[in-house]
Amino acid sequence: MSEMTFEPLMVEPAGVPRGRAMVERADWAARAYAKYDIATVNRIVDAAAAALANRATEFARDAVAETGFGVVDHKTLKNIACSTGIVENYRGQDFVTPEIDEVNKIVAIPRPAGVILALTPSTNPVATVSFKIILALMTRNAIIISPHPMAKRVCVAAAKAMADAAVSAGAPDGIIQIVEDPSIPLINALMTDERTDVIVATGGSPVVRSAYRSGNPAFGVGPGNVPVLVDATADLAKTATRIIESKAFDNSILCTNESVVIAEEVIADKLLMAFAREGAYVLKDEERDAVRNIVFPDGHFNTKMVGKDASWIAEQAGIKVPVKTKVLVAPFDLAVPEEPLAHEKLCPVLGFIRVPTASRGIDIARAILRIAGAGHSAAIHSANPDLIMRFSAAVQVLRVSVNVGNSLGASGIQTNLPPTMTIGTGFAGRSSLGENLQPKHLVNYTRLAYNSDVREVMPSFAGLNPWTNPTGPVPSYPRASNDRIQDPVHAPIQREPISQDVAELRDEIRKLIVEELHALIKN
């Protein structure tokens, strides 16, 4: 008798079974939800949004306590804007019912993406979670939230509140899920599962790179580094108010916050005085150097500074400023990569450069964006339409805020751009998304196209709808009697060979987690 041989059995890494189970549950929910009609979808969206908005202040307070970033009042505003505010903005828009174009004889049937994996940041945790959930529900998608480890407690609480409200309003069980204990194998399992239909990544460059390398469709965004041109025609009082309020908003934690003000020489001193009246403190040369050293030790941004008060940052630098100081203004001369103050600053430190002419200011803005922030956003304060047009055409960004603070201008809260917590940076920013993320980006359309010959008549499709409101209670997600998803036992199973791409992705995610751990240790 010949000796029998057996293939060795491998143990799946902790988290993989859980990830697969989450995607399976989401896929089940997505297929059920894709059959819902517009009235039912609207009811579910309203319920989920209200559940978040009703606890907006509580979640804002918890986010600041957990992360140490930002301002409670400002986070409350964002939480409301990204829940009921998003719903009202899209009120009346329909991403469910077929669209009929009788002239061109085309009927477009909405087709949801399916399962969305949303990666969310620590800087705007609850607002981003709510924003992505609302967009997913509007378009009849299931969503799995993978929160930043530094904000996981508040994100879990917010997502669960919205999930409970959605299910109570008739959504399928599992339509909203959230990763409670992130791990490298779990995130990898979610990102690479072929049932994950699209990844929406908001966060640092490593997060976005990992999403794009997952093998699944992904929307990622690049970093900001907003240049702001102020010319001689600007209303300086209004400009100062708008810039300082914007830079101070949530302690500059939005990626849309102003990075460097570029002022025409003829109005530069007056603008600095106007800044001071609005609560800014203009640093002297030696004070600027001290702040630069504390914010950018060894030339790299100090994560301890993220979302901290201006007065606290000044204290760390050994500088005495008024207690109510909102922003530290740091004048410098050269917009070059070697100057740390020309880089993105997620804290209330505002660079300031003088230029002899507005045309030279355009050149400096372009130089700032070559350092970082390509594709993101820029701002200009001016009454000269010719200059505004030249500036907007010259800077390599996809949104330019005019005579408004950029923090809430580029994000669509104080302008008529689509309100968003995810800023697409397009080709220049190495992003597949060139707009502010909107519901339309999470749905495709199957188009019925009739023969264009006028003799071929398209019949009436008015009133026809393939989606019907489910009757009776929605059944719970089916579970086996021995289901142990909440506390998985890693039973031996045959593991498929790991491809080179997946191995590289795991390394990328591992590097990302290591970066975060280093930041936590420094804190």
Instruction: Identify the weakest region by mean pLDDT among 37-46, 61-70, 379-388, 506-515.
Output: 506-515
pLDDT digits (tens, 9 = 90+) for 240-281: 999 999 999 999 999 999 999 999 999 999 999 999 999 999
264/13: higher pLDDT? 264
Q: Are strands 443-449 and 106-112 parallel, antiparallel or unpaired?
A: antiparallel
Q: Which residues pair with 178 in a beta bridge?
A: 145
- pLDDT value, residue 432: 87
pLDDT digits (tens, 9 = 90+) for 488-512: 333 333 444 445 555 555 565 555 5
Q: Superfamily for 22-221+438-450? A: Aldehyde Dehydrogenase; Chain A, domain 1 (3.40.605.10)
Residue extents of the structural domains in the chain = 22-221+438-450, 226-409
pLDDT > 50? residue 486:
no
The residue annotated as part of the active site, out of 82, 155, 255, 347, is 255
Confidence band, pLDDT 50/70/90 cuts, at residue 485: very low
Can you tell me the distance from the alpha carbon of 447 to that of 322, in angstroms, rounded to the nearest whole number?
A: 62
**Residue 127 in tokens:** 């607002």
Instruction: For the chain, give the percent of residues with pLDDT over 90.
Output: 79
CATH code: domain 226-409 is 3.40.309.10
Task: Please give the full DSSP string across 38-91, using - where no structure is assigned.
Answer: HHHHHHHHHHHHHHHHTTHHHHHHHHHHHH--S-HHHHHHHHHHTTHHHHHHTT
The answer to whether 255 is a known catalytic residue is: yes
The answer to whether the beta carbons of residues 138 and 90 sit under 8 Å apart is yes
Can you tell me the distance from the alpha carbon of 134 to that of 111, in angstroms, rounded to the nearest whole number?
A: 17
pTM confidence score: 0.88
Can you tell me the distance from the alpha carbon of 380 to that of 232, in angstroms, rounded to the nearest whole number?
A: 12
> Per-residue pLDDT averaged across 444-465, rounded?
94
Degrees to nearest 5, angle at CA 282 with 279 and 283: 135
Confidence band, pLDDT 50/70/90 cuts, at residue 515: low
Instruction: For the chain, give the percent of residues with pLDDT over 70.
Output: 87
> Per-residue pLDDT averaged across 402-407, rounded?
98
**Own/partner long-range contacts of 414-418 (Cβ < 8 Å, ≥24 apart):** 418/89
pLDDT > 70? residue 285:
yes
State CA 224 to chain mean position distance. Answer: 12
> Per-residue pLDDT averaged across 336-355, rounded?
97
